[in-house]
Amino acid sequence: MTGPRVLVTGMSATGKSTVIGLLAARGFAAVDTDLAEWCVDAVSASGAAEQLWDEPRIGELLDSASKAPLFVSGCHSNQGRFRHRFDHVVLLSTPTPILLQRLSTRTTNDFGKSAAERERILGHIGDVEPLLRASADLEIDTSRHGPDDVVEILLGLAGQPAATGGRSANSPSSSNRRSDGDAGGAV
């Protein structure tokens, strides 16, 4: 039996890489699949270049037999093919003005610096983020929860003890529901 598999997804600048880095720093298996080594170049139906998950490599990652939790972050159009392989899917989101500010000031990733990239991201907020939200078990607004809080919530989902000695009042439980009434949770 393998440990829990948790996918952390969301738009650029919502905090995926930061959270995965913090989990890795704590010694957890944490993989940022937005890095080139986890992707293959492809052409979308519209003819635009895009990066997809390298499906054989992602499959091997998810097949790993560790009983420890595995945290995977990324946002690619073919990730839905692996939805059934994750025990939890968590959407990180943030209001658009905050996302745009983060894109303009972040120093760890140049994606989103150009006007064309920002327009692409804004388009994805309208057409991709709703799809991610529909398939997520939990949505975390990273404008309300800092990276350390998000890590604690993810550890709770994976059945790991929180560094703070317990779950916060806003951490997920099986009884949480989205604020819009759908199954799942929102914090």
pLDDT in tens, 27-52: 999 999 999 999 999 998 888 888 99
Degrees to nearest 5, angle at CA 77 with 174 and 149: 40
Question: What is the reported pTM?
Answer: 0.84
Phi, then psi, of 141 in degrees rounded to 5: -85, 110
Measured between alpha carbons, how far is 166 from 178 in angstroms, rounded to an integer?
A: 22
Which pLDDT belongs to residue 47?
Answer: 86
Question: Which residue would you say has higher pLDDT here, 7 or 106?
Answer: 7
Nearest to 150 by CA among 29, 25, 15, 35: 15
For 15-24, 96-105, 128-137, which range has the lowest pLDDT when averaged over its residues?
A: 96-105
Compute and round to an integer the Cα radius of gyration of the chain: 16
Which pLDDT belongs to residue 177?
Answer: 32
Mean pLDDT of 59-81: 93
Nearest to 28 by CA among 73, 70, 72: 70
Amino acid found at 35: L
Mean pLDDT of 120-145: 93
Nearest to 70 by CA among 36, 116, 125, 23: 23
Residue 56 CB-half CA count within 13 A:
1
Measured between alpha carbons, how far is 150 from 22 in angstroms, rounded to an integer?
A: 10
Measured between alpha carbons, how far is 44 from 112 in angstroms, rounded to an integer?
A: 19
Mean pLDDT of 85-91: 97
- Domains of the chain (ranges plus CATH)? 5-186 (3.40.50.300)
pLDDT digits (tens, 9 = 90+) for 136-186: 999 999 999 999 999 999 999 999 986 654 333 343 433 333 333 344 566
Share of the chain above pLDDT 70, in %: 85
